[in-house]
A and B are shown apart, each in its own frame.
Chain A
Amino acid sequence: MSDAADPPITLYRLQACPFCERVVRKLDEYDLAYHSRFVEPMHSDRNVVKRISGSRTVPAIVDKSTGVTMSESANIVEYLDTTYGGDH
């Protein structure tokens, strides 16, 4: 499978969640391909996110190229800046 069809980054997001869109803007800024998985709006039913990140909050990302799984938009933005921004 090509990289375009199977990008290393998966973004767990909730439709219309501004914190998620903040991460999307950052991914776009660094021209990073990502696969979106939209999750259940009901927090208590969001077990898929809990399984991957240990928490039910979104956004959450999984970056297979670095092995990082992370929640909280501020943390994710900082991670993306550090990993993909600047001279990288």
Chain B
Amino acid sequence: MDLGFDVVELPETDHPTEGDHAPDFTRPLVTSEDWGDASLSELAAEGPLLLVCYPMDGAFPSTYIWNELRERAFEQYKVQVVGLSISTPYEHMAFIDDREIEYPLFSDPQNAIAEQYDIVNDLDGMAGLSEPRPAVFLIDSELTIQYAWVASEWPEFPEYDELEDTILSL
């Protein structure tokens, strides 16, 4: 899309990518009903997993991302879809209800997972807040990354078709 002006470019990162090991972590995993600590590795043990890092619940990119993922319904290809944002469990519950999200969402208010993955987005004009930049990681049961996409502009959205092709080739 040609906007006729420059969009914000995000700095280079050293995020994990295809073939790398996805760093494991444990955080509260939220559904519409409750939440409890869960680890990435215990979810991945159940089968391939799409980790979707996204801005705060309520930001418009978050709504766009989850609307698209709901439409695409990757679970039909036996892939678990799991979100991650800095929003608290209570905000996740409201977001899940508002946007009719069928997927569980990790809550990481301190943004440490984004730091671990080197995908931090420092937010201009919001002192003391940072969040993950939009990113998706397709992870197999060995925690090996099969596909990675990380935003390099702000805003930028996942390459959904490319992602879907990769899921279909698993």
Interface residues, chain A, with chain B CB atoms under 8 Å away: 1, 5, 12, 35-41, 45-48
Number of interface residues of B (CB under 8 A): 12
In the complex formed, the residue of B with least CB distance to A35 is B36
11 A-B pairs (CB sep. < 8 Å) = A12-B34, A35-B36, A36-B36, A36-B37, A37-B35, A38-B28, A39-B33, A40-B33, A40-B34, A40-B93, A48-B33
B residues lining the A interface (CB < 8 Å): 28, 33-37, 39, 42, 45, 89-90, 93
A39 and B34 form a contact (CB under 8 A): yes
- Minimum CB–CB distance for B37 against chain A, Å: 7
Tell me the smallest distance from the CB of A55 to a CB of chain B, in Å.
15
CA distance A5 to B41 in the complex (A): 11
Besides the known contacts A36-B36, A37-B36, 11 further A-B residue pairs in the complex with CB atoms under 8 A apart: A1-B42, A35-B36, A35-B37, A36-B37, A37-B35, A38-B34, A38-B36, A40-B34, A41-B90, A47-B33, A48-B34
- Would you give the shortest CB distance from B23 to chain A, in whole angstroms? 17
For A37, the chain B residues whose CB sits under 8 A away are 34-36
Closest to B97 in A: A45
How near does chain B come to A22, taking the closest CB pair, in angstroms?
19
CB distance from A63 to the nearest CB of B (A): 16
For the complex formed, measure the closest distance between the CB of A53 and the CB atoms of chain B, giving whole angstroms. 13
Docked CA distance A17–B146 (Å): 43
